[in-house]
Structure 1
Amino acid sequence: MSSKVAATFYYDIISPFAYFYIKQRQRLESKLDITPVPVLLGGLLRATNNKGPGEVAVKRPHFYQFCVWQAEKLGIPFRFPEHHPFITVAPQRLLLEQQANWEMVEKAFDYIWVEGKDPNLSWSEFCIYLGLAADTPKPESLEIKERLVTNTNQAKLDGAFGVPALIVNQRCFWGVDTIDWTLDYLARPGMFEEASYAYAGKVPNGLL
């Protein structure tokens, strides 16, 4: 019997931080059994009254250049796609339809963030890159459409407000910089019941 804790990883291939996260996921795999679940980041952001950094003009160059620096620090290949942000509905539906395992998920991210491609502009090539037939159609079934929406809604219910988001024991750890926090939590599972954490989670909002 596995002693690993079950975890859910919500992702959208549009996110460079999700790319950085999956390239480091082995740091967690000895302790967690992580299931990758595709969502639509745009839908999740709208549902939580949030905006991605790529949608804020003044933030875009800072965010994008930080990503270049982050990749350099991590020592992983990184290249921006033709344009960003871009629509990920079709590729996210495809990954859901294919019940994509980690190998396929990582290939999808590599197509964006290593090859620097937008799959909407080269769909057949994207499919081949994933190990699928070149004539694989873009998923249009109502079932897949509804399941992707359901995944996105469930991510919100689980406390996610962006990606990458890892859910462990009903706790949401958002962002690539929370890997260390997740490891500390697994070593100290009573963390959130400690007085300082409990208070921080309920600090009154002085602007309301």
Structure 2
Amino acid sequence: MTNSRTLPSDPALTPDLGVGSDSRRGAHAALEFHHAWSMALQSGEALDERLPVSVLGEMSKCEFFYDFSSPFSYLGATQVERITAGHELVWKPMLLGALFSSIGSPIVPLATWPETKARHALYDAYRWADHWGVRFQWPKKFPQKTVTSLRAALAVEPARIGAVSLGFFEAMWVHDQDLEDDTVVAAVLRARGLDADAILAETKTAVGKQRLFATTEEAGRRGIPGAPAFIVDEQIFWGQDRLHFVQKALEGWRPKLPIDLATPR
């Protein structure tokens, strides 16, 4: 029997609503996490080595699901274009809190962890930033409501969404700015030659709200457990520390798994 949640038909309602999703898919995603980690250990792949750009295989597609409120989404965003070079990359902003609500996860998981676990997650973020050679600082205001910035990113043409998204990520995770402030959102847009006033106005329309509603609903429907997440050939890879798996998948890698994690149950 499926335990699902139904969304209101009006996407203009509060963005904190959960998206429709079978809650059991969260368990499937967790199995993928443990299986992937086990494979990495067994194969001897080193997580502390920089990943080479993929040059093998035919052009594939990588779908990148993220929220600006996620530090590991920021770290993944700094590398995803390099890892997917030669392949199609689709940027898909989603509302992480709504996704978490739909799968029964705390809205801010970090806030529910024991202090020791939370501290080491923070250490890992700084270690990965140093490893990738990118700037990073934990913002004074955390968490932040990123609804407007996510809608703004989805309002630009697809060819520019990556650059705009990186701008929003850097505003929060490099420059310690508040994405809840529309002047910050506008500054990021203007710095990239965009009409900030028009885009901000669009984020308040039903159409602007529906775009974010749709990507968030898609994430839940396809079984994504959190952010960042990468989908290649219907394989879900959760976490920026799985980018070596993303690279291999783009080259045709598809390991045999005990269950089909890409198929909703």
Identify whether the pair has TM-score above 0.5, normalized to the shorter chain. yes
CA positional deviation for 1:41 = 0.3
Query: In structure 2, what is the equivalent of residue 160 of structure 1?
Result: 224
Task: Confirm or deny that 1:64 pairs with 2:125.
Answer: no
Task: Confirm or deny that 1:130 pairs with 2:186.
Answer: no
Q: Separation in 2 of the partners of 1:199 and 1:96?
A: 33
One-letter amino acid of the counterpart of residue 54, structure 1: L
CA positional deviation for 1:120 = 1.4
- C-alpha distance 89-125 of structure 1, shift in aligned 2 (>3 A): closer
- C-alpha distance 199-119 of structure 1, shift in aligned 2 (>3 A): closer
- C-alpha distance 98-189 of structure 1, shift in aligned 2 (>3 A): same
CA positional deviation for 1:199 = 6.3
Kindly indicate whether the alpha-carbon contact (under 8 Å) linking 2:154 and 2:161 is maintained by their aligned counterparts in 1.
Answer: no
Task: Confirm or deny that 1:78 pairs with 2:103.
Answer: no
1:115 to 171, 175, 183: 175
Q: Separation in 2 of the partners of 1:134 and 1:200?
A: 43
Q: Separation in 1 of the partners of 2:253 and 2:128?
A: 29
Secondary structure in structure 1 of the residue aligned to 2:63: strand
2:109 to 26, 35, 53: 53
Kindly indicate whether the alpha-carbon contact (under 8 Å) linking 2:91 and 2:162 is maintained by their aligned counterparts in 1.
Answer: yes
Secondary structure in structure 2 of the residue aligned to 1:30: coil
Query: In structure 1, what is the equivalent of residue 65 of structure 2?
Result: 10
Length-normalised TM-score, structure 2: 0.66
Q: List 4+ stretches of structure 1 deviating above 6 A.
A: none
Q: Separation in 2 of the partners of 1:96 and 1:22?
A: 16
Q: Separation in 2 of the partners of 1:134 and 1:101?
A: 14
Q: Percent identity?
A: 26
Kindly indicate whether the alpha-carbon contact (under 8 Å) linking 1:125 and 1:134 is maintained by their aligned counterparts in 2.
Answer: no
- C-alpha distance 189-104 of structure 1, shift in aligned 2 (>3 A): same
Task: Confirm or deny that 1:88 pairs with 2:168.
Answer: no
Kindly indicate whether the alpha-carbon contact (under 8 Å) linking 2:84 and 2:247 is maintained by their aligned counterparts in 1.
Answer: no
Q: Separation in 2 of the partners of 1:44 and 1:159?
A: 10
Task: Confirm or deny that 1:40 pairs with 2:98.
Answer: no
RMSD: 2.4
Q: Separation in 2 of the partners of 1:109 and 1:173?
A: 20
Kindly indicate whether the alpha-carbon contact (under 8 Å) linking 2:164 and 2:188 is maintained by their aligned counterparts in 1.
Answer: no
Secondary structure in structure 2 of the residue aligned to 1:77: coil
One-letter amino acid of the counterpart of residue 229, structure 2: A
CA positional deviation for 1:179 = 0.7
CA positional deviation for 1:86 = 1.4
One-letter amino acid of the counterpart of residue 60, structure 1: A
Aligned length: 195
Length-normalised TM-score, structure 1: 0.83
CA positional deviation for 1:47 = 1.0
Kindly indicate whether the alpha-carbon contact (under 8 Å) linking 1:53 and 1:60 is maintained by their aligned counterparts in 2.
Answer: no
Query: In structure 1, what is the equivalent of residue 244 of structure 2?
Result: 180
Kindly indicate whether the alpha-carbon contact (under 8 Å) linking 2:177 and 2:184 is maintained by their aligned counterparts in 1.
Answer: no
Ranges in structure 1 where 5+ consecutive residues have no aligned partner: 202-208
- C-alpha distance 186-57 of structure 1, shift in aligned 2 (>3 A): closer
One-letter amino acid of the counterpart of residue 21, structure 1: G
Query: In structure 1, what is the equivalent of residue 235 of structure 2?
Result: 171
One-letter amino acid of the counterpart of residue 155, structure 2: E
